[in-house]
């Protein structure tokens, strides 16, 4: 599959493959294909982030569809950023997409940030950079849960 055995990703790949049945592996491959990934795309995702194959089929589908439905991303974005497939849909991706949508709609950003970076930064950094500075200037109310540092957008 093209892994360098000297790198930790090789160990992750071995663990993922050994932890699932052949049938489950083939179902995951079929899922990726049904979402629009080519065989080369699937292999690239596996090489970059084998743990993406350890998450549920429902989660893979939900994340891919969420990103594609925004109209800002395509399959190549997911292939280049397979780490997104292991993030939480409800606690990270949806809230951050919601915040960025509000900030973009209100023209509060001088420049649209790289969304891969937005998705992968820590909760604390995200709040400091994209929520706290704008919390007074937007009509929507940002509710920050301090225990988990998640963001909800209320109309």
So what's the pLDDT on residue 141? 46
Q: Radius of gyration of the chain from Cα atoms?
A: 18
In angstroms, the CA 93 to CA 120 distance is 9
In angstroms, the CA 105 to CA 102 distance is 5
- Put simply, whether the predicted model's pTM sits higher than 0.75 gets the answer yes
Mean pLDDT by 10 residues, the chain (155 residues): 65 82 94 96 91 94 94 93 93 88 85 88 88 69 49 53
Please name the helix (run of DSSP H) or strand (run of DSSP E) that holds residue 75, with its range, or none. helix 75-80
Is-contact 154 124, C-beta < 8 A? no
Q: Where are the domains of the chain?
A: 8-86, 89-154
- 49 burial level (CB within 10 Å; 0-12, 13-18, 19+): buried
So what's the pLDDT on residue 127? 84
């Amino acid at each position: 599959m093209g892994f360098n055995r000297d790198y930790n990703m090789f160990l992750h790949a071995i663990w993922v493959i050994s932890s699932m049945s052949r049938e489950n592996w083939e179902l995951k491959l079929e899922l990726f294909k049904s979402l629009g990934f080519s065989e080369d795309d699937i292999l690239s995702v596996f090489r970059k982030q084998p743990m993406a194959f350890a998450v549920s089929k429902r989660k893979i589908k939900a994340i891919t569809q969420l990103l594609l439905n925004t109209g800002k991303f395509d399959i190549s974005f997911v292939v280049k950023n397979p780490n997104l497939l292991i993030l939480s849909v409800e606690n990270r991706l949806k809230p951050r997409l919601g915040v960025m949508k509000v900030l973009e709609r209100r023209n509060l950003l001088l420049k649209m940030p790289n969304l891969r970076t937005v998705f992968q930064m820590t909760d604390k950094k995200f709040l400091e950079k994209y929520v706290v500075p704008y919390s007074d200037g937007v009509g929507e109310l940002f509710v920050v849960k301090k225990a988990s540092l998640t963001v909800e957008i209320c109309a």
